[in-house]
A and B are shown apart, each in its own frame.
Chain A
């Protein structure tokens, strides 16, 4: 398990912890059944408040990534591909939205933006 907090990030700290854990659950670095460190242990290790880590775990629990088991702590649940796709789709949408807004600011046309995306797509294939 790996948690890297950035103070420059737009995301609040609990969301950074949540997203990083989610990513590691989704890509298999934290396989289902893994017991996560306790909320208090994590807060201490990462150097953040207990409420912050509590919130990250609560979010993950609500979204079905982990479950808290009596006496055992928080355990990673198995994830389906469906959730994975949904997560990434949201991230793509976010990125594209920024691109569209920025393009509009300099009065770029829709076809121009499409062309730019096509170019970038090809570039990254190389």
Chain B
């Protein structure tokens, strides 16, 4: 059963249109939301969290939409953003007070444990915190509540590898019982790629691809070679070809490798490479005039 259900979300700004975005995330799973800067990741997230209103479409968490019960809806979401949305002039003690009065499910003891574990100073203004400290505080705030869905908006950008590993472990603990899900957006996939069950690509405000990660990785091979070795039929099969002086690189459907013999180098693509070549191939541009 799906925890997060997004249906035909649309929203227009001056220079940007989010168009008919739909996907669903089952209970107990992780979805990575991937796209270039300005592709519409944060717009989608703002619509999910209820921060902005969609022109069309709807989204539900555990069957409830924001309008049904804003308080319950918001209590189910834990949000961690790329820049601290925590008030800069506050201290940890202020945050504790705010969370306690805002959320019925706030677990004070758990929050204190995390603050202690991460050695976050009680009486220092957040503005003086390092990036890592801010992220830790956001995680402590989100995880100390009884949420169902964690939404991470570029949350692990700029973290050191040790911290990132620690976060990965926290996230995997979060979903282990099969009742909680995670939705994360990123433009640097290797961050959280390893734990993602589903990958959705967004480009120019439209969903380009949405698949289980393992299927996605198996759908394509990355091929490099000399353009002179390509017959016209072979060339037609290539997706998003980039040519250099000495070679070309492109994606190829895994079932279409006929004719690509030992003159070519074939390897497993990374998700980043799939994204680059899909976008190179036109992405959603054809639908955006």
Measured in the bound complex, the distance between the Cα atoms of B218 and A48 in whole Å is 16
* Set of chain A residues within 8 Å of B29, measured between Cβ atoms: 49-51
Measured in the bound complex, the distance between the Cα atoms of B171 and A47 in whole Å is 10
- Decide yes or no whether A52 CB sits under 8 A from chain B: yes
Looking at A9-17, A22-30, A67-75, the stretch in contact with chain B turns out to be: A9-17
- Decide yes or no whether A41 CB sits under 8 A from chain B: yes
Give the number of A-B contacts (CB < 8 Å): 51
Are A14 and B194 in touch, CB under 8 angstroms? no
Are B214 and A47 in touch, CB under 8 angstroms? no
- Decide yes or no whether A85 CB sits under 8 A from chain B: no
* Set of chain A residues within 8 Å of B197, measured between Cβ atoms: 49-52
If the complex has contacts A51-B197, A101-B262, are A40 and B213 also in contact, measured as CB distance less than 8 A?
no
95-126 of chain A: CB within 8 A of chain B: 101, 105
Q: Which of B172, B196, B198 contacts A44 (CB 8 A)?
A: B172
163-216 of chain B: CB within 8 A of chain A: 168-169, 172-173, 175-178, 194-198, 212-214
* Set of chain A residues within 8 Å of B176, measured between Cβ atoms: 40-41, 44
* Set of chain B residues within 8 Å of A40, measured between Cβ atoms: 28, 175-178
- Chain A residues with a Cβ closer than 8 Å to the other chain, count: 17
34-57 of chain A: CB within 8 A of chain B: 40-41, 43-44, 47-52, 55
* Set of chain A residues within 8 Å of B30, measured between Cβ atoms: 49-50
Of A13, A14, A43, A44, most buried by chain B (CB within 10 Å of CB) is A44
Are A12 and B214 in touch, CB under 8 angstroms? yes
Measured in the bound complex, the distance between the Cα atoms of B26 and A50 in whole Å is 12
- Decide yes or no whether B131 CB sits under 8 A from chain A: no
- Decide yes or no whether B217 CB sits under 8 A from chain A: yes
Measured in the bound complex, the distance between the Cα atoms of B213 and A50 in whole Å is 11
Measured in the bound complex, the distance between the Cα atoms of B217 and A10 in whole Å is 12
* Set of chain B residues within 8 Å of A52, measured between Cβ atoms: 197, 213-214
Chain B interface size band reads: 20 to 34
- Decide yes or no whether B7 CB sits under 8 A from chain A: no
* Shortest distance from the beta carbon of A83 to any chain B beta carbon, whole Å: 25
Measured in the bound complex, the distance between the Cα atoms of B173 and A14 in whole Å is 20
Q: Which of A41, A43, A55, A105 contacts B214 (CB 8 A)?
A: A55
Are B218 and A12 in touch, CB under 8 angstroms? yes
* Shortest distance from the beta carbon of B181 to any chain A beta carbon, whole Å: 10
If the complex has contacts A40-B28, A40-B178, A105-B262, are A51 and B214 also in contact, measured as CB distance less than 8 A?
yes
Are B172 and A14 in touch, CB under 8 angstroms? no
Are B214 and A13 in touch, CB under 8 angstroms? yes
Are B217 and A50 in touch, CB under 8 angstroms? no
* Shortest distance from the beta carbon of A101 to any chain B beta carbon, whole Å: 7
* Shortest distance from the beta carbon of A62 to any chain B beta carbon, whole Å: 16
Q: Which of A10, A14, A47, A105 contacts B195 (CB 8 A)?
A: A47
For B268, the closest partner residue in chain A by CB is A10
Are B217 and A12 in touch, CB under 8 angstroms? yes
Q: List 29 contacting pairs A-B, 8 Å CB cutoff, sorted by A.
A: A10-B268, A12-B214, A12-B217, A12-B268, A40-B175, A40-B176, A40-B178, A43-B172, A43-B195, A44-B169, A44-B173, A47-B169, A47-B172, A48-B194, A48-B195, A49-B29, A49-B195, A49-B197, A49-B213, A49-B214, A50-B28, A50-B29, A50-B30, A51-B213, A51-B214, A52-B197, A52-B213, A52-B214, A55-B214
Given A12-B214, A14-B214, A51-B198, 20 further pairs, Cβ under 8 A: A12-B217, A40-B28, A41-B176, A44-B172, A44-B173, A47-B168, A47-B169, A49-B29, A49-B194, A49-B196, A49-B197, A50-B28, A50-B30, A50-B197, A51-B197, A51-B213, A52-B197, A52-B213, A55-B214, A105-B262
Residues of A that sit less than 8 Å from B by CB: 10, 12-14, 40-41, 43-44, 47-52, 55, 101, 105
